[in-house]
Chains A and B, each alone.
Chain A
Amino acid sequence: MSTLQTSVTVEAPRADAPSLWSRLRVNRNWLGMWFMLPAAAFLVLFLAYPLGLGIWMSFTDERIGRPGIFIGAENYQWLWDDSIFWLSVFNTLLYTLIASAIKFAVGLYLALLLNRHMPFKALIRSIVLIPFIVPTVLSAIAFWWIYDAQFSIISWSLIRLGIIEHNINFLGDGNWARASVIFANIWRGVPFVAITLLAGLQTVSPSLYEAATLDGASNWQRFRYITYPLLTPIIAVVMTFSVLFTFTDFQLIWALTRGGPVNATHLMATLSYQRGIISGRLGEGAAIATAMIPFLLAAIAISWFGMQRRKWQQGSNND
């Protein structure tokens, strides 16, 4: 390249103007930029702009049908000593932590099972996906009947079996209600984790297991030193998505409890909707939604930095 340049220096003044263009013309990055532009515009228009607008709205007193004026952090000040808001933060964290942890454990277990050779493998794998395919609202309505205060099939069966005497107050008691919605969320979320982890498991070369078996490794050792380290990148991605989906869950709660009883199952998303859309205070609803962003960023950051560390990915220490 350098030799080439020295040989054309004489002609440089004349060739300078077209050379920029001709250089750009063959420049892959320049071309790449144009290819990326539609996608970038799409992202800005449909993601960055609404996000920015939402954050801006949280600093105004905008209501439905009426533009707001800038009021600084007033919405946030009101939220700061609003016990219902903090209850929703607590609920959201509890909901996300417990549901994600159980989804991961059950999903991993299921993936390991499905990875084995068994008859009707393909059929069973597709059956596992069913809870994920059913529209959320439909499954929520099914759960609503299962948990109904008067017509719950669980209460009915247990009473018939003589185990309990009264209907269980599934959605009417704060803690029961939390457990119930978390269970419904887990039921829906497990297939996603299981199938994605299964895809990861299939990429692990069988020869590694064969070698380990020859070395006399136990089942646990094979899982701990082969499966788990090779699966870590997939786990990081799956759990990031799982946490994000759970944290921002809305439909399930809204269809089951509307955030009740007495706000015991109000998540930040449902509270934001109730205040922003139902009672028309867009600014306050936007403030609650914006308050979710730091939590989401933290969840993303953890897996992002995790994935950046190659050694961690490969399962060894970071020394």
Chain B
Amino acid sequence: MTDFSTSRRSLFKGGASLLAAAATMSGDELLGYAKAWAETSQWKPEAGAKVNLLRWKRFVEAEDVAFMKIVDAFQKANNVTINVSNESYDDIQPKASVAANTGQGLDMVWGLYSLPFLFPAKCVDMSDVADYLGKKCGGWAPSGEAYGKYNGKWIGIPVAATGGLVNYRMSAAEKAGHKEFPKDLAGFADLIKGMNKNGTPAGMALGHASGDANGWLHWALWAHGGNLIDKDNKVVINSPETAKALEYVKGLYENFVPGTASWNDSSNNKAFLAGQLYLTVNGISIYVTAKTENPQMAADINHAHLPAGVDGKTRELHLGFPILVFNFSKFPQTCKAFTAFMLEPDQFNPWVQAAQGYLSPFLTGYNSNPIWTSDPKNTPYRDVAATANTPAGIGKMGEDAAAAIADFVVVDMFANYCTGREDLKTAMMTAERSAKRIFR
């Protein structure tokens, strides 16, 4: 966020030309490219393969259009069929789970968070695809490996993540005495307090919002040195560090706009765009919407990473989008080929661009995509992979950690204490017990 200004102009120029190149590679050219790719590919799609792919419903329309172009070119070049069905965020996991359990219906799922870790035994080993992409696209960020690898094998390919970063109105932050976005915990708390005093409150979800609430509350826990589990996946939530995190979040909560305990994933978007909320933690979608619907507001919006923790390091939980192939699929080669094809720079770059900052890849090569610098407000989202942790934190990602986050153990602990339903000790004990039930 600091070093780009010197070369902003040149980067922007570069971005524009690349954008133009991407735009021209539609239709026939893309098909020709796909054919050439198919000939040299190490994965040979099964003849006449019919693949059912389930993916999350798009947030940004251009992203979906770009994705379907890739699908189309792949189908034609390889003479296979890929049925793409879209489901809303909340319905992806149940559907994928049913498919995993019954062994039919879907061949591959492009889901959320740690989906492959819910049923690692049902996922095809994607190590060859991951290695191929890693070599080709500048290597995987460590967080990418953490999101994809289970017991040394890649059980899913983390396509990208939606960064959960601070969205704020610059004018409101400045009025609260923070012209520069605060870099430490105390400064951040002061900002939230100041904003509330000025009648331009902040707010972050404390309800059962799987993306928003889990994201910033895990940051708060980790920033204070707290953890749900240690390196050996032993439950260590009941700790003085957690207590500090609870106190800190309660301090923030008391200065939030009222009602955050009931918020779901869309509440902060609505309130922010309606001009009732001046700071929240979210993907870039608020800014993207504001650019078309309320340019005046968009000009006042900026993004920042959450402040560093007590040890000076920033650990955030972002919404990952892993793609997985079921081991009962009859067409694993087709699925692998498609996964590799879709992350190939020639189409992934335009696609990342089409997503307008909503998708931050885990492959470090994509950090040079012009989308991150063409608009400096996008830049914080470039570094999402660098700050990302899995829901397991310092522990080992697996079924249990995936279950803990789905069961809102950490969110409920914070909400319990902040809303005054339980005192500090009881809130930690309840969470400890819930976690022990899961990590038994």
Chain A residues near B (Cβ < 8 Å): 63-66, 78, 81-84, 147-151, 166-167, 169-174, 177, 257-264, 274-275, 277-282, 284
Contact = CB atoms under 8 A, between A and B. Distances in A.
B100 A64 contact: yes
Interface in B390-417: 399, 402-404, 406-408, 412, 415-416
Contacts of B258: 149, 166-167, 169, 172
Interface in B219-278: 257-264, 267, 270-271, 274, 276-277
Contacts of A279: 118, 402-404, 406-407, 438
A227 B437 CA distance: 54
Contacts of A81: 433
A174 B419 contact: yes
Interface centre among A167, A278, A281 (most CB of B within 10 A): A278
B16 interface: no
Given A64-B119, A259-B208, A261-B262, A83 B430 contact: yes
24 contacts: A63-B118, A64-B97, A64-B118, A66-B122, A82-B437, A83-B433, A148-B270, A149-B258, A149-B263, A149-B271, A170-B262, A172-B262, A172-B263, A173-B419, A257-B262, A259-B208, A260-B415, A261-B415, A261-B419, A262-B261, A264-B421, A274-B407, A275-B407, A284-B437
Interface of B: 93-94, 97, 100-101, 118-119, 121-122, 206-208, 257-264, 267, 270-271, 274, 276-277, 399, 402-404, 406-408, 412, 415-416, 419, 421, 430, 433-434, 437-438
A2 B391 CA distance: 82
A260 B264 CA distance: 10
Nearest to A271: B407
Chain A contact residues: over half helix, strand or loop, or mixed? loop
B261 A82 contact: no
Nearest to A65: B119
B406 A174 contact: no
Nearest to A276: B97
A167 B434 contact: no
Contacts of A149: 257-260, 262-263, 267, 271
A210 to B, nearest CB: 55
B202 to A, nearest CB: 13
Contacts of A172: 207, 258-263, 419
A277 B270 contact: no
Contact of B101 (A65, A166, A169, A260): A65
A188 to B, nearest CB: 20
Contacts of B94: 277-278
Given A64-B101, A150-B277, A169-B262, 10 more contacts: A150-B257, A150-B274, A171-B262, A172-B259, A172-B260, A172-B419, A277-B94, A278-B94, A280-B97, A282-B101
Nearest to A63: B399
A151 B407 CA distance: 28
Interface centre among A63, A147, A174, A275 (most CB of B within 10 A): A63
A183 B267 CA distance: 22
A289 to B, nearest CB: 15
